[in-house]
Amino acid sequence: MTSTASSNVTHLPTYPSARPAWVTDEVVARLTDRVFRSPDGDESIVATAPYDLAPIAPVPTSSAADVAAAVEVARLGAAAWNRRSFRDRAAVVLAFHDLFLAEQDQLIDLIQWEMGKARFSAWQEILQVANIARHYARVGEKYLAPKSVRGAIPGLTKVAETRVPKGVVGIISPWNYPFYLGVGDAIPALLAGNGVVSKADSQTALTLLFARELMGRAGLPTDLWQIVVGRGSVIGTALIDQVDYIGFTGSTATGRTVGEQAGRRLIGASLELGGKNPLIVRPDADLTKAAEGCVASSFANTGQMCIHTERVLVHADVYDAFKAALVKATEGLRLGQTYDYTVDIGSLASEAQLATVVDHVENARAHGATVLTGGRARPDLGPLVYEPTVLEGVDASMTVCAEETFGPVISLYPFSTDAEAIELANRGSYGLSASIWTKDTHRARLMAAAIRSGSVNINDGAAAAAGSIEAPMGGMGDSGLGRRHGAEGIRKYTEAQTVAEQRGMALGPPASMAVEKFVAMTNGQLKLLRKLRVR
């Protein structure tokens, strides 16, 4: 594995402080003061910075009672917020857009300090939220506009389908994309007229709190968006018990629990869960581009993203050539820890993530898999740095074959026909993202229709679909339910309401007409409508 060192890449035996210089104790106090908790609360949680394993900062934790109070505060705020025009709400979101773009360097610093990713991966969160904010502020009103529909008696019944806010939306967001997944889901919920209570992940709470500060400066009412922090088993459960809709991004196991709890309360839930995503290389693919695309979708964010590639399916005719191109592209990645753009792959987020990656690779190696490149931790570059790793010879006896690694590890599998590739792609219970590389895009679209996956990218690894903000993003099977982005990404935060106005005669038989005569007459009308092909 090739690594590029520079003056600001950390090394053992001691790691310089990873804390950005501008993040003073006063800044931390200002941000953490935005956590919703009672004045007499005294418990805090302290995360560990991936770059140096030092404590980040104490963040106050909320209690279950605090969560209930936060929801009530947000509910009161939502009543006034929903009375404002969509244009007024959009103006706040667009002002927020401009603020976080102007102050993105500080925001990116926080993301890196708390999560450990490379700076370009952190900047991609800025890009994604900017696109989300602009899109929903500009077209959200169209997505939510009342829609006229045919009434029971055309001309006499006027019917409209309208959208009304859910009330208070709860959002439980993960650590791997604290800005994108924490804020990107809150924006459409707010624009739809809801209050929001967000559970910040304890690892990356400062990032979400800084975003909340910027939103307040943009003009968002103080009460409307509340942030709570603490253990999921306490405040996550309390949040689901109080809100009118829950959005969760995280593991499939936890997602099942969230879905069950939401179901008992008969509230809606959007769940983006795990993935074991396949990438298919057909024999006519441009192998250099396919290898580069595979590297991007496999190792971006240090492999810690739900849509990243973990299974690489390669046609036997080009297997060896593609393997060589992939190993070369992987070994060209720059590894390290910096607050600039000189490295491509940063740190894993926690010792637990590193332990999972090590376990999967060592288990595969012990059962006969071959490590083509990578396969080792790099404590000389950072305490949680692990080399991007490519495996072959993986089979069902190995943990890495079916379980989500959520790290910089991929496995190669040969196939002989498109049908076999589809069968391999559909193995397992996940169905979040897939990729097909080929010059025959018509064939790729036919294959896509047979792949059980919420998104299928053609000649791209993952970003094309995920970055298409107007298109829905979500999973099938154990990868979850519901969609973010597009029309569904904002409509899910509303209830459909039918408003019907009857004009002139009432429905049903007039008082002067026998019921039998009315039924016979209506039956004749039904037959006529069928003959006229009226919908």
C-alpha–C-alpha distance, residues 257 and 119, integer Å: 34
Closest Cα to residue 237, out of 254, 221, 250? 254
DSSP 484: B
CA–CA gap between residue 28 and residue 60 (Å, rounded) = 11
Long-range contacts of 528-531 (CB under 8 A, 24+ apart): none
Q: Which of 325, 335, 341, 342 is nearest to 376 (CA)?
A: 335
CB 18 within 8 A of CB 49: yes
Active site residues: 272, 306
How big is the CA angle at 405 (ends 404 and 407), to the nearest 5 degrees?
Answer: 135
Residue 84 burial (CB count, 10 A): 13
- Number of Cβ within 10 Å of residue 494's Cβ equals 20
How far is 434 from 276, CA to CA, in rounded Å? Answer: 9
Three-state DSSP state, 181: helix
Q: Give dist(CA 35, CA 64) in Å, integer.
A: 13
Structure token pair of residue 177? 């994309």
Cα–Cα–Cα angle for 100, 101, 106, nearest 5°? 65
| Dihedral sign (CA 229, 338, 340, 20) | positive
CA distance 351 to 356: 9
Tell me which long-range contacts 354-358 makes (C-beta under 8 A, separation of at least 24).
Answer: 354/384, 354/386, 354/407, 356/405, 356/406, 356/407, 357/386, 357/389, 357/405, 357/407, 357/408, 357/409, 358/386
- On the question of a cis peptide bond just before residue 278, with omega within 30 degrees of 0, the verdict is no
Beta strand 245-249 with 168-172 is parallel
Query: What sign for the dihedral angle of Cα 168, 110, 36, 253?
Result: positive
Three-class DSSP category at 314:
strand
First to last CA, the chain: 64
Q: Which helix (H) or strand (E) holds 257?
A: helix 252-265
